[in-house]
Amino acid sequence: MIKRIISLFCIVTIISQGDIAKNDYKQEALKSKEKIEVRYANDPGGL
């Protein structure tokens, strides 16, 4: 019974870590998108 609880906890931990990694990736993508938009705004002819 205890082993089952521990294995469930490990699975939940792995899943939540995966979600955190996804969120980090989304934030990085948004940051790079903002940088690109700022660069185009500063250099309108540079498209």
pTM of the model: 0.40
The yes-or-no verdict on residue 1 having pLDDT over 60 is yes
- Per-residue tokens: 23: 């969120």
Q: Is the dihedral of CA 41, 45, 46, 47 positive or negative?
A: positive
Percent of the chain with pLDDT over 90: 0
* CA gap 21, 15 in Å, rounded: 10
Local confidence band at 44 (pLDDT 50, 70, 90 cut-offs): low
Quote the DSSP letter at residue 43.
-
pLDDT, mean over the chain: 76
